[in-house]
Amino acid sequence: MNLISTLRLTSFYCAALLTLASAHSACAAEATSFPAVVVDDVATVFTAPARWETQDWKTAGWATLAVVGVAVVADRPVRDFMCKQSKISSCPEAGPNAEVKNSALTTIENFGQTYALGVMGGFYLAGVISDNEKSVQVSQDLVAASLSSALVNQSIKIFANRSRPRDNQGTDDFKGFTGLNNNSSFPSGHTTEAFTLASVIASHYEETWVGATAYSVAGLVGVARMYHDAHFASDVVASALIGTFVGKSIVKHNRTLRTGKVALLPMIGPDFAGVQVVGNF
C-alpha cells in the first residue's frame, strides 16, 4: 500500500469516524466524545514507549530481533518459493506475460484494505439493528485502531523506504527518507490493517473460533501480499506485530475509558427514530 492509497483509506476512516461520532455524542459532563477518544487512542499508541516497563522493552526487543532474523534467513528463499507458485512477471526468470492471477488470494487481500471498511460498518450496523452495545464498541475500536495503525505503518514506511520485491533491488535496499511520495515495502499496509482488525475482534470475543478465524484471514492477507510479489516475509512479520500491538492496546485502553461513561445510541425503526442512553453505571 503506497502513500496515496494510505491517504485515500485514511479518508474513509475519517468518514467512518464522523458517522460514528454523530451517533455517539457525549450526553454527560464526564463523558468523552468518540472523536476525543480516537485522538486519545492515537496519542496513546505513539507515546506508549514512554510508559513501557522492563518487560515491555524486552518484548519489543525480541519482536525486533524476530523481524531482523526473518529478513536475514527467510526473505530471499520465501520470495523464491512464492515466485515459483505465482509466476508473477516481476519475478526473476519469468516471462513478460507470465503473471497468473489467483482470485482467492486477491479476494482475501482486500481484507487489508477495502473490505476492512465493510467489517467496521458491519459491526456497527449489527450493533444498531440488534441493540448490541458490544458490537458498536467493536466498530469504534476498529476505526480507532485502524487509523492509529495506518499512521504508525506509514511513518515507518516513509523513513525505511525499502524497495519492493518486484523492484528486484535485493532484500537489503533501504533508501531511508527521501520524501513523502514513496512506495515502500516495509512494512505492509494491507497486513498491518488485517492484523489490526483481527486483534481488535479477538480481544472483544472470548470464543476460540473467533480469534482463530480472524487471525487466519489476517495471515492469508500477508501470504497474498508475498504471493503477488509486493512484500518480503519480514515486511509481513513486522506488520503482523504492529497490527496486533496497536489493536490490543486500543481495546485495553478504551475499556478503561468506557468505565462510567454514557453515550447516545441511535434507535431506528420503520415508523420512528430516536436515541437510547447506554453506559456502565
- What is the pLDDT averaged over residues 204-220? 94
Do 178 and 201 meet the contact criterion of CB atoms below 8 Å apart? Answer: no
> In terms of pLDDT, which residue wins out, 230 or 15?
230
Query: The C-alpha cell of 183 is what?
Result: 512506495
Q: Is the pLDDT of residue 6 over 90?
A: no
Bigger pLDDT: 59 vs 280:
59
- Structure confidence at residue 151 (pLDDT): 93
Yes or no: say if 193 and 150 are a contact pair by the CB < 8 Å rule.
yes
Asked if residues 100 and 87 have their Cβ atoms less than 8 Å apart, the reply is: yes
| Distance, CA of 109 to CA of 229 (rounded, Å) | 13
d(CA 159, CA 179): 9
The chain-wide mean pLDDT, for the chain, equals 81
Q: Would you say residue 207 has pLDDT above 60?
A: yes
Rounded Cα gap, residues 89 and 83, in angstroms: 9
Residue 98 pLDDT exceeds 80: no
d(CA 105, CA 127): 30
pTM: 0.80
At residue 192 the predicted structure's pLDDT band, cuts being 50, 70 and 90, is very high
97 pLDDT tier (thresholds 50, 70, 90): low
* Backbone conformation region of residue 233, classed left if phi is above 0, alpha if psi is from -120 to 50, else beta: alpha
Asked if the model's pLDDT at residue 83 lies above 50, the reply is: yes
Domains of the chain: 3-12+59-253 (1.10.606.20)
Question: pLDDT digits over 225-278, tens only?
Answer: 999 999 999 999 999 999 999 999 999 988 887 775 554 444 455 555 554 454
Q: Are 108 and 224 in contact, with CB atoms under 8 Å apart?
A: yes
Does the structure show a pLDDT above 90 at 210?
Answer: yes
> Within 10 Å of residue 33's Cβ, how many Cβ atoms?
14
Least confident of 207-211, 214-218, 253-257: 253-257
Nearest to 166 by CA among 231, 110, 221, 224: 231
Q: What is the pLDDT of residues 25-58, one digit of tens each?
A: 333 334 456 777 788 888 889 888 888 999 999 9
pLDDT digits (tens, 9 = 90+) for 141-172: 999 999 999 999 999 999 988 999 998 898 98
User: With bands split at pLDDT 50, 70 and 90, how would you rate the model's confidence at 177?
Assistant: confident
State the pLDDT at residue 260.
56
Q: Determine how many CB atoms are found less than 10 A away from the CB of residue 252.
A: 12
